Chains A and B, each alone.
Chain A
Amino acid sequence: MELLSILTPMFFTLVTAGTVIGIIFGAIPGMTATMAVAVCLPLTYSLGLENGLALLLGLYVGGISGGLVPAILLNIPGTPSSITTTLDGYPMTQNGEGERALKIGITSSLIGGLFSLAALYLFAPALADFAIKFSYIEKFLIIFFALTVMAALSSSLLVGIFSGFLGIFISLIGAYDISRGGNGELRLVPESLEYYLESGFSLLPVLIGLFGLATILIEAEQGMKEGQSLSGVKIGGKPFKLSIFKGQFVNLFRSSAIGTFVGILPGVGGSAASILAYSQEKNFSKTPEKFGKGEPAGVIASESANNGLTGGALVPLLSLGIPGDSTTAILIGAFTLQGIQVGPLFIGNNPVTWDAMIIAMLVANIVMFLVMVFAIRHLAKVVTVPKNILFPIILMMCVVGAYTINYGVMFDVWTLLIFGLFGYLAHKIGLEIAPFIIGFILGPSAEIYFVKSLESFGTFSIFFTKSWIAGLLWVLIAISIAFSISVARKKNKTENE
């Protein structure tokens, strides 16, 4: 009965408001779910625990979901976890299927969200016990597995892998982060830049530089031609039908499961979820050559995985007191502000709060779906806004996003410009952006887990002998690499014929 007294109209209003604000944050390039939660955290103090959580969880679900809108319509990932959504979502928009792509993405998001919520509700403690079987070694192998995606995403295997490793290399610039276990020493930094590059380049400014600013520079170079709106985009196109999901059941299930699972592992990083899911879908697909050209299955994989993350990341938070990603790291603040401990006893000690959170997540997912489906017609029109109006606004929002991601560091704004130029040049000389950014995202984690594994065990053989999980991961890595090579071979053949 206590639960019913919490489920007031206020509670539902807050979830709804949170979800809507979250979607808006997620949909604006440069603004993220993490930022939405951080900004609203102080408000929760006066709201009380359950109502505060209702708002924050709404923001979380909305923020992660909103990222698909600019990814699909503008080729700019609204949040890091929607990078792989751009790969097929934007080509669909260019083929005049923007609205359809959005609907596919939203439906997949809903399914991924609900899947992970069910996993959270039913198996949280068991999943947490499984997650702690992943030591440095298994985590390194997971990252390695995710890195093999670089190959799957490359149009030319060699150049793609080179771009990916370049991404890793650039991600290592700056100090070997003490707060992750490093020794705090600088590397790869020229002496004159030490003042600025102490913490290296931040992910978000790099991301929006590569995808946002670079795109605008390329358009500027071409003189902003083709009328005044985005290149040949039509609204409408093929109608969306639920039948698109026929035959996608395995994809949805696998991608949601991957998303949930990556969320459960603290320290692996949320973006790895959609990257892994996307590449697995491509590897298992009968028509891998269609990916990157507007294949709905790619959008489905990416979006169901990144919403699968939402429930997954709450598992270690609520059963170990450890956040699964950057957004849940801020959620911890909401609990401590209210004097509530999160740890292995949380669910048992606070059954009402726990149920309220599950209901908030459920409502947030449903509200997200309804709001976005209704808003789609209007959202999709963003592509008809003249470029000379749209692009300056996007640039301004990118600046805001870059500046605010670390709570006000001007160098992050310059990072945006540096990587905007880099993205432009990369485009010119044929470097591949998708593997580059994946390398950049996963590089620091790969380093920590690799070096720490050797530091603890002092032998390379440990990567093979640590556990059955390590063995299984090696099998997956081998399969992933083999698939990529065979796909590349096939492609070479058809090109040569």
Chain B
Amino acid sequence: MTGLFKSIAAAAGFAAMVASPVLASAADLPSNIRLVIGSKSTGGDTYQNSAIVAEALAKKLDINVKVDAVGSSEAFKALQRDSRGTTIMIFHDQSYLGNLYGVRGYDDIFDNYVVGPTVAINPGNAYLVAKNSPMQSMEDVIAAAAAGQRVRVAIQAGGVSEIGFSALKNAVKVTHPGAEENIVPVNTGSQADKNQLMFDGQADVINGSVQANEQFTQLDADDQKAMRFIWLTAREETIEQANPEGMGDTTRDELLAFTTPNVSVTLDGSKDFTFDKEFFFLFNKDMDAEQIAAIDTALKEIYAAGDIQKTQKASFFIPNYKPQAEAATYLKAKRDEYRHVIDAIATN
């Protein structure tokens, strides 16, 4: 019955609460912030990373921050409705890649929101082949396509999962013009579906992640489920920051064998393409700049203290705080680079 008594007590103290102002003071942050994320899953990387950041922010600013996994379209809607700083958002590169790929519901975030600061990278974006595949490396894949063989790549259309595919197609176009049409997408959904397409022999290469697929790479080659990494899209210096143990039975050094420059997917013939999935804040365009600055400063102090980095690294995230203005410029440049890749393969 204690629960009941507590709620009666809460009801009694409730009048006081209603009377208390929502804002402690005008330039201050609201005492209850809703952090919406662009993912519907509470088991995924966006939620996990946002929860870490939200907890640190709440502690630092002594406010409530509640993470709600409403998914991208609802998150953008909620953010657009609320300029008081009571709703903020965390999402990753999908937010502008969706726009680049022309997916319905994705506006230009740089026009419509305040972008940044960044908080972390998930370095795990990977491409895999079956362990017994004749193609053992990215070189083999590109050579096969150049030789006129159709290479089917399982991806989820319109974003983070497709960008590596687009880069691969672009690299083939740069090195073997005309052969890029041999790189064909197999559009599918979840990781389960991508894996299944490989097990069924319906895809030669699949998009996956270090976190979700590492154990499959440890299986014996005669197992139908056995896979092999051929490419991690992350930058070399990103993986270098990971804990030396890496993930599962694959050490950091072993992971580095799959990034540039050891695996080369060229951007323009001289530079390699890389893609880091970065998590960053998005704010309503009309939100008080002082409020944004307050969050930015708090994050700066949190990262300076150094505890959050340990938590992030333990979960295979690479800490990556960039102040708001710097993050916005950086992400815009990143977007423009990918736009170039996508445009290049679109105008065959």
Contacts and interface: CB of A to CB of B under 8 A. Distances in A.
Q: Touching in the complex, A and B, CB below 8 A?
A: yes
Given A407-B69, A408-B70, A179 B212 contact: no
B216 A322 contact: no
Contacts of A408: 34, 68, 70, 78
Given A266-B192, A320-B225, A452-B188, 5 more contacts: A178-B103, A178-B159, A179-B156, A179-B190, A341-B215
A322 B213 CA distance: 10
Contacts of A336: 43, 45, 48, 211, 315
Interface string B191-216: 11101110110100000000111111
Contacts of B224: 129, 132
Contact of A337 (B71, B156, B211, B315): B315
B313 to A, nearest CB: 10
Bin chain A's interface residue count: 35 or more
Contact of A135 (B196, B214, B314): B196
Interface of A: 38, 41-42, 129, 132, 135-136, 175, 177-186, 195, 198-199, 266-267, 316, 320-323, 329-333, 336-337, 339, 341, 343-346, 406-409, 448, 452, 455-456
B345 to A, nearest CB: 18
B189 A329 contact: no
A330 B43 contact: yes
B344 interface: no
20 contacts: A132-B199, A132-B225, A177-B189, A181-B189, A184-B105, A184-B157, A184-B158, A199-B71, A199-B74, A266-B192, A321-B212, A322-B190, A330-B42, A337-B48, A343-B214, A344-B218, A346-B215, A407-B70, A409-B74, A455-B187
9 nearest A-B residue pairs (beta carbon): A343-B215, A333-B43, A181-B189, A180-B189, A332-B43, A407-B68, A322-B192, A181-B188, A345-B215
A283 to B, nearest CB: 30
Contacts of A199: 71, 73-74
B186 interface: yes
A267 B157 contact: no
B145 to A, nearest CB: 20
A38 B42 contact: yes
A186 to B, nearest CB: 7
Contacts of B315: 336-337, 339
Nearest to A343: B215
B215 A344 contact: yes
Contacts of B216: 343-344
Contacts of A179: 40, 156, 189-190
B248 interface: yes
B124 to A, nearest CB: 11
Nearest to B213: A343
B51 interface: yes
Contacts of A332: 43
Contacts of A182: 189
Interface in B214-230: 214-216, 218-219, 223-225
A316 B73 contact: no
Interface residues of B, number: 56
Contacts of B212: 321, 343
Best-buried of B78, B104, B157, B193 by chain A (most CB within 10 Å): B193
Contacts of A339: 314-316
A331 B187 CA distance: 27
Contacts of B249: 345
Given A175-B104, A332-B43, A336-B48, A406 B193 contact: no
A42 B51 contact: yes
B91 interface: no
A341 B245 CA distance: 13
A92 to B, nearest CB: 32
A323 B191 CA distance: 10
B190 A267 contact: yes
A358 to B, nearest CB: 20
Contact of B71 (A129, A183, A406, A456): A406
Contacts of A184: 103-105, 157-158
A448 B192 CA distance: 14
Nearest to B187: A181
Interface string B46-65: 01100100000000000000
Contacts of A448: 189
Best-buried of A183, A267, A408 by chain B (most CB within 10 Å): A408
Nearest to B73: A198
A134 B43 CA distance: 25
Contact of B43 (A185, A186, A198, A329): A329
B247 interface: yes
A180 B195 contact: no
A409 B43 contact: no
Given A183-B187, A343-B215, A344-B215, A267 B192 contact: yes
